[in-house]
Amino acid sequence: MAQPTTPALARVCSNCDGFPSVRITLGGRDRHGNLRTITVHCPACHGTGTRPTRSVRSVQLVGSRA
């Protein structure tokens, strides 16, 4: 039996594609030998990776059965 996958995909943030937080190296290492990094969150979803569905109507169309 096929499982509906569209509702989960519809909630993934389109800006970051589900990867809301990344670490970016600043170059070089600190005195302990660790890479110097900063963490950046997606500005569209604020680090959650999901977006709320746009309307109730789209949810009903996705979840309806033929």
Asked if 15 touches Zn ion (CB under 5 A), the answer is yes
Binding mask 41-60 for Zn ion (x = CB under 5 A): -x-xx---------------
Identity of the residue, 9 or 61, whose beta carbon is nearer to Zn ion in the bound complex: 9
Q: Which of 20, 23, 25, 55 binds Zn ion (CB under 5 A)?
A: 20
- Copy the structure tokens of residue 18: 């589900």
Asked if 14 touches Zn ion (CB under 5 A), the answer is no
